[in-house]
Amino acid sequence: MARYLIRRLNLFLATSLVLFLVMFIATGKFPVEHTFALTGLQSPTSQELAQIEQDYQLDSSQAHQFFAYLQQRLSGNLGISATSQNPVIDELTAVLPASFELGIVAGLIALVLGLPLGVLASLSKHKITQHTIMAITLTGYSIPVFWLGLSLSLWFGVQLGWLPISGQINLLYDIRPVTGFLLIDTLLSDSQYATSAFIDALLHIILPAVTLAVLPFTVVVRITRAAMISIMEQTYIKAAEARGLHTSVIVLRHALPNAFIPVLKNLGLMLGAFASYAMVVEVIFSWPGVGAWLVSGIYQRDYTVIQGGILAVALIIIFLSILIEVIHTAMNPLSRKELYAAN
Amino acid sequence: MPQIKIYQEDHIPSPMSRIWSAFTDNPFAFAGLWAVCCLLLLALFGPLIAPYSAEHQDPLALLLAPSWEPTGTVEHFLGTDDLGRDIFSRLLHGAHLTFGMALAIVITALLLGFIIGSISGMMKGLKSSILSHLLDALLSIPSLLMAILVVAVTGPGLGNVFWAVGIALTPQFVRAIHQAVHEELQKEYVTAAKLDGANSLQIFWYVILPNIMDTMIIQTTLGISAAILDIAALGFLNLGAQAPSPEWGAMVSQGLDNLLTAPWTVTIPGVAILCSVLAINLVGDGLRSALSPIRS
């Protein structure tokens, strides 16, 4: 296992290096002054210019420049935003928690609703139930997320007036950021309006989270169903049935843990698409997360924000997908066997 | 009249005809295939049958409701937008932008992925690992981020969408084909062919290629639906097709200003995207289940 972990760590480092290389090449190709693309300083003084040249080694070879670039970025120097003049790293840490909050809530909704529905779809013998569930999931899989978000906000937000459709919380509430996760911060806050602020934050997250949850939900239902159907045919399920166990015990104890393994694997594969969808959802619902920040960065041609955002999001995705792969291997004895056989 | 059997032998269907009959047994998949064929025809001949040009503005018919509404007229079948442009004609003109562009991207990505994936799949050890993992870094950049990067370098426009979505899709093809080739290489019939003295080119072309076809077909249908959704999302964010263009995602974003007074300017292009992606996914699903008895 240690050897496997080292190999995965190796993969993480190598992939991140390639990512930095791609970003380094792209930075050189931005249609602005190279120093501006690197630091975000619109018109640096001669002193700053000398500092930039020294920091990024602009007068040495490309390889030296790349390592200087790597050093600067890894030490947290992402430059300053050209529009707000704040350091990019500060802005990034301010917007990341909101995105994580949205992603976690959406993922939870997808898993909590998707797993039982997938199991139900696999157990039901009715053609109509099966076809309905498959039709719903296929539609959910094909729906363009921006259109779904607009339709939901038009219907539930404007026509019925049930749910707020923009932002993270009503601006009247003054919540001190502790963890950055607004749902937790409102609970931690000691103001007398903490409960109503929490409810308000909860109402704000419903529409974006549901919109974002549609894609992972459909994938979870389909994979769970397919895995359950093949598992329920296995001999150990027949043995459990022969022992007289109740169906619910068989499903929960014997089948579901095994059905969860392919679901986990597909969650890892879906991360990229999920991140793309999350960015669109953030733009539609003006959710103050990293996606909306990046898209406004591209509208204003704020090159340091673009670089910092892409680096952060891509690194997080690389890390999470490798983490999911490791968990998948740890949970799945079969793939561990393959692993030892390969070595 | 029942057919008279003269010969004792049963007719043994070829693998292709077995896949075809398994595919046509599923009515939804078959309906999807018809829809995809219609889409293809529309992408090719849509501009010819459109009643108006994409930019034709009718100042007497601004924000006209679709024809089934009491206020709508049949001249503008799906209504008009805020500049009096006929939505039906714009959809037809946009079909080859959204659907045709998606096809072009997927074909390019498939070719590139096929070449890189099969070379890296046939090789062993470090070289293979470097080639396949090199693109894994690109795989981890979501398509939208890749598009933002491309737009940052070259500026927005429909041509850049081609590169953005193409760069994001190619690694998926490389990975899928690499894995398929790698898996087939471990199997015994490949060893048998090797013992017969086939060189690696022969093994790849005659032994492995027919067996990875199904993976490639499935990956292609997945790729087309993902490409359509990406192109539309980029158009919606104004990073892809620009304002007067009748690309379907851009049409949604142009209708956004009138969302409350004229919801059909947003709904109808959205339904068009949904239907085309749904049709492709139906075909992909049908193909997957038709191919699965052979795969397992």
Quick one: closest CA in A to B129, which residue? A11
Q: Residue holding tokens 């086939």?
A: B198
Residue A342 has pLDDT above 60, yes or no: no
Q: What is the mean pLDDT of residues B122-133?
A: 74
Residue A335 has pLDDT above 80, yes or no: no
**Test mutation, A150, A233, A274, A315, chain B, max B CBs within 10 A:** A150
The interface residues of chain B toward chain A in range 129-158, judged by CB-CB distance below 8 A, are: 133-134, 136-145, 148-149, 151-155
Q: Say whether both A279 and A133 belong to one domain.
A: yes
Q: Give the model's pLDDT for residue B191.
A: 87
Longest CA–CA separation in chain B, Å? 77
- Residues of chain B with Cβ-Cβ distance to A294 below 8 Å are 145, 148
CA distance linking residue B99 with residue B94, whole number of Å: 8
Q: Is B211 exposed, middle or buried (0-12, 13-18, 19+ CB in 10 A)?
A: middle
Q: pLDDT band for position B1 (50/70/90)?
A: low
pLDDT tens profile B195-247: 988 888 888 888 888 888 888 888 898 899 889 988 888 888 888 777 788 88
**Test mutation, A142, A218, A222, A284, chain B, max B CBs within 10 A:** A142
Q: Is B80 helix (H, G, I), strand (E, B) or coil?
A: strand
Residue A19 forms part of a structural domain: yes
3-state secondary structure A224-268: HHHHHHHHHCCHHHHHHHHCCCCHHHHHHHHHHHHHHHHHHHHHH
Flag the least confident range among A84-98, A119-133, B124-138: B124-138
Smallest Cβ–Cβ distance between A15 and the set B133, B230, B236 belongs to B133
CATH of the domain at A323: 1.10.3720.10
The average confidence (pLDDT) of chain A is: 84
Residue A106 has pLDDT above 90, yes or no: yes
pLDDT tens profile A198-238: 888 888 888 999 999 999 999 899 889 888 888 888 888 88
pLDDT tens profile A177-202: 777 787 777 777 777 777 888 888 88
Q: Is B140 helix (H, G, I), strand (E, B) or coil?
A: coil
Residue B167 has pLDDT above 70, yes or no: yes
What is the share, in percent, of chain A residues with pLDDT greater than 90? 8
pLDDT tens profile A158-182: 888 888 888 777 777 777 777 778 7
| DSSP secondary structure of B231-270 | HHHHHHTTSSS-TT---HHHHHHHHGGGTTT-THHHHHHH
Q: Is B53 exposed, middle or buried (0-12, 13-18, 19+ CB in 10 A)?
A: middle
Long-range contact set of residues A121-127: C-beta below 8 Å, sequence gap at least 24: A121/A221, A121/A224, A121/A225, A122/A224, A122/A225, A122/A226, A122/A228, A122/A229, A122/A232, A123/A228, A123/A232, A123/A247, A123/A251
Q: Give the model's pLDDT for residue A343.
A: 40
CA distance linking residue B17 with residue B166, whole number of Å: 33
Q: Give the model's pLDDT for residue A302.
A: 85
Q: Does B274 sit within 8 Å of A147, measured CB to CB?
A: yes
Instruction: Report phi then psi at B142, rounded to 5.
Output: -60, 155
Residue B295 has pLDDT above 60, yes or no: no
Q: Say whether both A56 and A129 belong to one domain.
A: no
Distance separating the N- and C-terminal Cα atoms of chain B: 38
pLDDT tens profile A267-304: 888 888 888 899 999 998 888 889 889 888 888 888 88
Q: How many domains does chain A have?
A: 2
pLDDT tens profile A312-323: 898 898 889 888
Residue A108 has pLDDT above 80, yes or no: yes
Residue A109 forms part of a structural domain: yes
What is the share, in percent, of chain B residues with pLDDT greater than 70? 94
Domain range annotation of chain B: 46-294
Residue A142 has pLDDT above 80, yes or no: yes
Q: Say whether both A127 and A219 belong to one domain.
A: yes
Residue A156 forms part of a structural domain: no
Which DSSP letter does residue B156 get?
Answer: S
CA distance linking residue A334 with residue A28, whole number of Å: 46
CATH code given to domain B46-294: 1.10.3720.10
The interface residues of chain B toward chain A in range 194-233, judged by CB-CB distance below 8 A, are: 225-226, 229-230, 232-233
Q: Give the model's pLDDT for residue A201.
A: 84
Reported as type and span, the H/E element at residue B108 is helix B101-122
Residue A94 forms part of a structural domain: yes
- Helix then strand count (H, E) for chain B reads 12, 0
Do residues A236 and A225 touch, judged by C-beta distance below 8 A?
no
Q: Does A146 sit within 8 Å of B155, measured CB to CB?
A: no
Residue A184 forms part of a structural domain: no
**Test mutation, A130, A137, A146, A279, chain B, max B CBs within 10 A:** A146
Q: Return the number of CB contacts < 8 Å for A and B.
A: 132
Q: Is B161 exposed, middle or buried (0-12, 13-18, 19+ CB in 10 A)?
A: buried
Q: Say whether both A218 and A305 belong to one domain.
A: yes
Q: Say whether both A226 and A324 belong to one domain.
A: yes
Residue B296 has pLDDT above 50, yes or no: no
Q: pLDDT band for position B3 (50/70/90)?
A: low
- CA nearest to B225, candidates A181, A69, A142: A142
Domain that holds residue A315: 89-139+205-342
Residue A174 forms part of a structural domain: no
Which DSSP letter does residue B208 get?
Answer: I
* CA B148 vs CA A89, A315, B155, B173: distances in Å: 19, 16, 9, 21
Q: Say whether both A210 and A333 belong to one domain.
A: yes
Q: Say whether both A112 and A225 belong to one domain.
A: yes
pLDDT tens profile B238-277: 887 777 888 888 888 888 888 888 888 888 888 999 999 9
Distance from CA of A138 to the nearest CA of B (A): 7
Residue B107 has pLDDT above 90, yes or no: yes
Q: Say whether both A96 and A69 belong to one domain.
A: no
pLDDT tens profile B137-159: 677 778 788 888 888 888 777 78
Q: Is B65 exposed, middle or buried (0-12, 13-18, 19+ CB in 10 A)?
A: middle
- CA nearest to A162, candidates A125, A126, A202, A102: A202
